[in-house]
Structure 1
């Protein structure tokens, strides 16, 4: 049986309860919008990458997609077509450089 990590199932694992409650409602709305956009962009990238890999080298895709998707912490970005892992924060910044403009860029976390 696959070893599951809490952060693979619950993206709020390790984040204090109510940590964003002190933000003004307008700021919360901006954070929600950013989260939704990042999620949608990630979904679209995943579909595009999945189609590309399945056409070019279907044998390199994970055999057990459930274990691949939920078997590692979401703090890690696991590649579908290579035996490669990187911090998910690095992947976030690689895909969403505009976070720098809105003040959500941590230079120490970006690659």
Structure 2
């Protein structure tokens, strides 16, 4: 088992409340029939959620992602995932918790944009 796979498995067991809420909305093709995987290894990273058919990674970011250091890390991570063919959509914890319907619409719009490219 690769290091990323082991880390992904551990992250699936210890997901945050926000990730659990979004996963309930996405799992079992719950977003217009698109299949998502959670805590999915891509290259040396583990994506919070990935729709492989659309080449879309959805990351749920908490308060720690507001620091300059974390923003730089996120930018580098997004660039590396782009080199693997994925667009990264970053969502704030607050948005997922307070506006799940709007978050679903945002994700669906990103998928549709990717599929029609």
Tell me if both proteins adopt one fold, taking TM over 0.5 as the criterion.
Answer: no
* Higher relative strand content: 2
Larger Rg: 1
